[in-house]
Chain A
Amino acid sequence: MARVLLNLPRSAAKGSVIEIRCLIMHPMESGFRPGVNGSILARDIITRFSCDYDGEEIFHAELSPAIAANPFISFTTVATASGTLRFTWEGDDGFRQTETRALTVT
């Protein structure tokens, strides 16, 4: 399991826009770098990040080797109803990680 740092409020007023900031520990090996013996290191990146809000996808992004190691993504969403946000990172070599956070909307 890669370490993940998620920053979003636990609660928000209905209709307000909340900011969600996500960091995940990942080398994002570009597939263009030579290793110590001179041969190219195989690509190992996160290719897709998505966020579901109560089962509906509200945001997703396709990532490339041009995204920095330990990828950071920040986006916003409207707090519509109390529920669960599910964050999923998918990548090379079957990488897949999911985190969930509860959001209380008042």
Chain B
Amino acid sequence: MTDRRTLLAGALLALSLRPAAATPEDEAAAVRAFTGGAPLRAGRVELDIPPLVENGNTVPLKVTVQSPMTAADHVTAIAVFNEKNPQPQVITARFGPRAGRAELATHMRLATSQTILAVAAMSDGSFWSASAEVVVTLAACIES
């Protein structure tokens, strides 16, 4: 069994070793890598994520994009970014007209309260986005 001193030392180490969070610049760079610098337009993207999260380890997330999903006009990719996890990327999914609908759902991690950004790349070269603020409450009792 672990004694208290070890636990305390472990907790302090955990704090000191905690990696620096991604910065807004890191996120902007990751978004630029996805868009190639094209401007983000607001709209057409719906980001469904709980506004208040009891534990950041498993957070359901769904992105839906308005698109006819035809050969001529479809979503080619959906990417999700975050501000304050250690890295800005969450998921990047590639779509084609065979998807039928531009929908993506997953479960993500949130290191802390922050804004989540979803970006959709369209076949006409435009990029659309939506963002949502998520508050992660601090758990009082955790397994040690």
Interface string of B87-104 (1 = CB under 8 A from A): 101111111101111011
Report chain B residues within 8 Å CB of A32: 18-19, 86
Interface residues on A, range: 35 or more
Q: A36-B2, A76-B100 are in contact. Are A66 and B19 (CB under 8 A)?
A: no
Interface string of A58-89 (1 = CB under 8 A from B): 11111111111111111111101000000000
Report chain A residues within 8 Å CB of B10: 34, 36-38
- Interface segment out of the listed B35-43, B106-114, B128-136: B106-114
Does A30 have its Cβ within 8 Å of any Cβ on chain B? yes
Does B140 have its Cβ within 8 Å of any Cβ on chain A? no
**Alpha-carbon separation in the docked complex, A75 to B93 (Å):** 10
**Alpha-carbon separation in the docked complex, A18 to B6 (Å):** 52
**Alpha-carbon separation in the docked complex, A2 to B113 (Å):** 32
**Alpha-carbon separation in the docked complex, A64 to B93 (Å):** 12
Does B141 have its Cβ within 8 Å of any Cβ on chain A? no
**Alpha-carbon separation in the docked complex, A62 to B106 (Å):** 12
- Chain A positions within 8 Å of B, measured between CB atoms, are 17-19, 21, 30, 32, 34, 36-38, 40, 53, 56, 58-78, 80
Q: 4 more A-B contacts (CB under 8 A) besides A66-B90, A71-B107, A72-B106?
A: A56-B98, A61-B93, A64-B90, A76-B100
